[in-house]
Amino acid sequence: MQSNESINYALCCTTDFAEEAINYDIQHFNDLATKSAGLTLGSGASAWLLSRKPIGIGRARLIDIKNTSIPSSYSICKVPVKQKKFHSQGKEIFDLGIKYVPEEIKEITNRVNWKISDINYFISHQPSKKVINDICDILGIQYEKAPVIHHLYGNTINSSIPMAMDYILNNIGLKDGDKLLFNAAAAGFSMITAAAIWEANNE
């Protein structure tokens, strides 16, 4: 849409059915180091509709997006083509999230001139409740501002953030002017963070 002004709408869809990649063959305690993260995966599908003009009963107006990758860590989380089984060094992935995600959030909030306390909802990828809470602790974000749905659906990978947003809309609600901070961090190690403002349609 940035490169072609004639594109007014974009439907972004994702589907993840993780069952085939989950490795249940755990014979030794050491297997948990690389296979246990796969046991948290859940299946999910979602779609976002992007538009140049406001639509619908409410919308998140994107203010800024930041994308960062640390390719040197690519090997700690993968699904090999032949084995097709999810392999993740869970502790190392979580440690990278705790190390890099808070700074990533600070950078984008500085860019949009927000304080951390200005954020109404921190809408996160869903690796685990502990990781989300640890990031909140580092940043001073109240837990109620960072809804956790991991216990409901598992880590639905690419659908985690849309599903968390849907949960907020259907169970908590958003007010006009609420400041939203989206963040996903995963294998790669890659992070994407977006700042948005909720605009209610009062017509």
Average pLDDT over residues 149-174: 93
Question: Can you tell me whether residue 28 is helix, strand or coil?
Answer: coil
Q: Report the alpha-carbon distance of residue 61 to residue 194 in Å, rounded.
A: 10
Total domains in the chain come to 1
User: Is residue 105 included in any domain, yes or no?
Assistant: yes
Mean of pLDDT values over 26-55: 90
Q: What is the pLDDT of residues 48-86, one digit of tens each?
A: 999 998 887 789 999 999 999 998 888 888 888 888 888
Q: What is the CATH number of the domain that holds 74?
A: 3.40.47.10
**Strand, coil or helix: 188:** coil
Q: How far apart are CA 122 and CA 127, in angstroms?
A: 14
Residue 142 lies in a domain: yes
The string of pLDDT tens digits covering residues 100-146 is: 999 999 999 999 999 999 999 999 999 999 999 999 999 999 999 99
Q: Are 114 and 80 in contact (CB under 8 A)?
A: no
Q: Give percent of the chain with pLDDT exceeding 70.
A: 99
Residue 167 lies in a domain: yes
Q: What is the pLDDT of residue 203?
A: 53
In a domain, 51, yes or no: yes
Within a domain: residue 147?
yes
d(CA 14, CA 38): 19
**Strands 121-124 vs 179-186: parallel, antiparallel or unpaired:** parallel
Q: Is residue 1 part of a domain?
A: no
Structural domain including 58 reads 9-200
- Quick one: which of 117, 118, 119, 112 has its CA closest to 182? 119
Residue 138 within any structural domain of the chain? yes
Average pLDDT, rounded, for the chain: 92
Q: Residue 3 domain-assigned? A: no
The pLDDT of 85-103, averaged and rounded, is 90
